Amino acid sequence: MHTYELDEQKVFNSGHNACPGCGEALAVRYVLNTMGPNTIGVIPPSCIAIISGPQPYSSMRIPVYQTTLEASAASAAGISRALKRQGKHDVNVLALAGDGGTYDIGFQALSGAAERNEDMVYVCLDNEGYMNTGAQKSSSTPYLAVTSSTPGGKPSDKKDIAEIMAAHRIPYVATATVGYPDDLARKVAKARDMKGMRFIVVLTPCLDGWGVADDGAVRVSRLAVDTGFFPLYEVEDGERYTINHGPKGIPVERYLEQQKRYRHLDEDQVKEIQAGVDHRWSLLQARVESMAGQARIR
């Protein structure tokens, strides 16, 4: 049993519209309650928009602007720039988007905002598919996972959004997940207290879309890290890497077997996924080593 000390400010409230046991609602709690009330939120169509609540209700004690699916980063940039012109340099701007709105349709706006180093915290709540519209595949869906638009399993790999964002050389990129709440909250606090473009991708298991038991979100989230499927790390200025939590010697099969979206896999496919996980982990370690001791050049 793990216990956590979290310094939470009451921004996110109970009574929201997430499914019982939702991993994403848990992530929203840690993100919002760490960002604090001096924050303006931007939310595109996604499960987060449902969790945020229908007019006139809100589960969030902050102003929230709901934008279009592809526009989160641009919308957040508009707020951020207007706040500066008003002299409000201390107000946080937080974009909370899903993986479809980040990896896919929102990617152009995100890349543009990163290139301009817009002043915002952009959190991608990554449930690896269009779960709000019935679990279609996104470019975040992992290899061989079944979705409603890839019923035979997805034929291509998950896009590596953390590395793509790190390649923009923005001040801060991090991966996080709800099974490691202290790590998640620490990263949100760290991002909050920096300036410029900050990006955190949070793996948030979707009970329905992944086929996970109602009490399984946190367990599956921890297994994603502990099997090496989703390592937790940080990248500052595109080159200073810190690995926080990596594989602990648990085979990836233990992660896959918790989820109905992988139930169709045969033995060889499980091995293929394990080999992919091992390969990406070695690449990440090599990157960390090659970047170690590099002087910061901007």
Task: Return residues touching another protein (CB under 8 A).
Answer: 37-40, 42, 49, 52-58, 61-68, 70-71, 73-79, 81-86, 91, 108-109, 111-112, 115-116
CB of 104 to another protein, least distance (A): 15
Rounded to a whole number of angstroms, the minimum distance from the CB of residue 37 to another protein is 7
**Given the complex with another protein, which of 105 and 256 has the nearer CB atom?**
105
8 A C-beta contact, residue 197 and residue 122: yes
- What are the C-alpha distances in Å from 294 to residues 238, 281, 298? 11, 21, 12
Our CB check for another protein shows the closer of 108 and 282 to be 108
Q: Which is nearer to another protein, 75 or 259 (CB)?
A: 75
CB 66, min distance to another protein, A: 3
Is the Cα dihedral 52, 56, 61, 65 positive or negative? positive
Q: Which is nearer to another protein, 39 or 221 (CB)?
A: 39
Residue 78 Cβ vs another protein, minimum distance, rounded to whole Å: 3
Give the side-chain half-sphere CA count within 13 A for 105. 17
CA-based angle 93:114:190, to the nearest 5?
A: 50
* Residue nearer to another protein on the CB measure, 31 or 174: 31
The least distance separating another protein from the CB of residue 257, rounded to whole angstroms, comes to: 37
By beta-carbon proximity to another protein, the closer residue of 115 and 289 is 115
Looking at residue 273, its amino acid is I
Based on CB atoms, which residue is closest to another protein, 91 or 167?
Answer: 91
C-beta of 6: minimal distance to another protein in Å?
22
- The CA–CA distances, whole Å, from 119 to 105, 114, 115, 193 equal 21, 9, 11, 11
**Minimum distance of another protein from residue 42's CB (angstroms):** 7
